[in-house]
């Protein structure tokens, strides 16, 4: 069975339950998207495990959000300049992982870009075109090089005033991993867990496949499936330019952390397959910033990472599919 992700209005904070033949779905709104877990076994204990997995996402949103003054991340942003701030173990590990991705991608992934997001109106719309001076000022208050981590103390400190972190490009993947731990601890071994249309985590398999069947779609036409992927104990995350950017030439709403300007990329979308949903989400964003050649080079150096790239139409050429590091038994190109 092909698992597809559809839109719709869902009650904030409430769990919605659906049955579709042999498939059972539990859904909840969090992190400005819909999280949904799909599984087959209708068992009270296993359903309870799925509900607990969804519950933890609310807790993680309360911790990671920059939209609430009382969140742990907001406290870090207020207090970490010039002094160490102790943080919760999981959040410290997320900071460490973010630093590793920043180093491995040459700064194409960077969580310390909140000032840039503010400058461009991404943090609080409307979108705006900042002046060159505003961008330069925001760059001075950005950059993971200013985020200092002390593993022994489990503490973080900022070396430059004004630096702030934002986990928007990695938080859903992290939430999926933490929620999946609850499901597995509760005995639910076969499930597909996704956050919106962009990040998912597959564990075990569905009855009819040796995994969970998913699709990479055309970002200009979401009804057009480009590639099928069969995932088992793997995560998938996709980052894409907007339809308006691809079809009307509008400015991309993804900022290159190195320049402070919207990305100029030859990619329409980048989909990453690996074991970690956190890493997959971070890399999918980084690959869009890198462009095709740098992203392929990264995958060659990290064989544990697979990817599907959709190269933008150019000079009369159609959307082009390039894939790497994914077994042929798990991938089907449809066009």
Q: What is the 3-state secondary structure (H, E, C) of the chain?
A: CECCCCCCCCCECCCEEEEECCEEEEEEEECCEEEEEEECCCCHHHHHHHHHHHHHHHHHHHHHCCCCCCCHHHHHHHHCECCCEECCHHHHHHHHHHHHHHHHCCCCCCCCCHHHHHHCCCCCCCCCCCCHHHHHHHHHCCCHHHEEEECCCCEEEECCCCCCCCCCCCHHHHHHHHHHHHHHHCCCCCEEEEECCCEEEEECCCCCCCCEEEEEEECCEEEEEEEEEEECCEEEEEEECCHHHHHHCCCCCCECCCCCCECCCCEEEEEEEECCHHHHHHHHHHHHHHCHHHHHHHHHHCCCCEEEEEECCECCECCEEEEECCCHHHEEECC
Q: Among residues 199, 331, 217, which one has the least CA distance to residue 277?
A: 199
pLDDT, tens digit, 9 for 90 and up, residues 46-57: 888 899 999 999
116 pLDDT higher than 50: yes
Q: Looking at the structure, give the CATH architecture of the domain made up of residues 72-158.
A: Orthogonal Bundle (1.10)
Mean pLDDT calculated for residue range 185-206: 93
72-79 helix and 44-64 helix, angle to the nearest 10 degrees: 20
Superfamily the domain 1-66+167-201 falls into: ApbE-like domains (3.10.520.10)
Topology of domain 209-335, CATH? T-fold (3.10.520)
Tokens of 36: 């949904």
pLDDT tier, 10 (very low <50, low <70, confident <90, very high otherwise): very low
141 pLDDT higher than 60: yes
Mean pLDDT calculated for residue range 295-323: 95
pLDDT value of position 14 = 61
Query: What distances in angstroms separate CA 76 from CA 73, 88, 124, 178, one per listed residue?
Result: 5, 11, 19, 21
Mean pLDDT calculated for residue range 323-330: 97
pLDDT value of position 17 = 65
Domain chopping of the chain, boundaries = 1-66+167-201, 72-158, 209-335
pLDDT value of position 15 = 66
Let me know if the fold of 1-66+167-201 is the same as that of 209-335: yes
pLDDT tier, 21 (very low <50, low <70, confident <90, very high otherwise): low
């Amino acid at each position: 069975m092909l698992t597809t992700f559809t839109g719709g209005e869902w009650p904030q904070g409430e769990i919605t339950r659906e049955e579709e033949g042999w498939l059972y779905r539990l859904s909840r709104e969090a992190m400005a998207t819909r999280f949904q877990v799909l599984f087959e076994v209708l068992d009270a204990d296993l359903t309870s495990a799925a509900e607990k997995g969804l519950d933890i996402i609310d807790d993680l949103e309360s911790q990671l959000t920059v939209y609430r003054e009382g969140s742990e991340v907001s406290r870090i942003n207020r207090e970490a300049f010039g002094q160490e701030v102790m943080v919760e173990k999981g959040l410290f590990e997320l900071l460490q992982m973010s630093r590793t991705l920043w180093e491995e991608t040459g700064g194409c992934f960077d969580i310390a870009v909140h000032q840039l997001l503010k400058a461009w109106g991404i943090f609080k719309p409307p979108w705006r075109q900042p002046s060159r001076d505003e961008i330069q000022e925001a760059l001075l208050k950005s950059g993971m090089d200013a985020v200092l981590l002390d593993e022994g103390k489990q503490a973080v400190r900022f070396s430059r005033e004004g630096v702030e972190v934002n986990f928007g490009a990695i938080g859903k993947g992290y939430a999926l991993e933490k929620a999946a731990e609850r499901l597995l601890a509760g005995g639910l071994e076969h499930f597909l867990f996704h956050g919106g249309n962009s990040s998912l985590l597959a564990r075990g398999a569905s009855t009819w496949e040796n995994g969970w069947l998913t699709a990479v779609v055309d970002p200009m036409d979401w009804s057009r499936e480009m590639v099928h992927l069969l995932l088992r104990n793997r995560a998938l995350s996709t980052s894409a330019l907007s339809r308006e950017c691809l079809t009307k030439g509008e400015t991309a709403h993804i900022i290159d952390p190195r320049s402070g300007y919207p990305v100029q990329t030859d990619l329409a979308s980048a989909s990453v397959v690996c074991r970690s949903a956190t890493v997959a989400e971070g890399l999918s964003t980084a690959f869009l910033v890198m462009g095709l050649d740098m992203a392929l080079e990264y995958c060659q150096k990290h064989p544990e990472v697979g990817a599907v790239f959709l190269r933008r139409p150019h000079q009369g050429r159609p959307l082009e599919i390039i894939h790497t590091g994914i077994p042929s038994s798990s991938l089907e190109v449809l066009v």
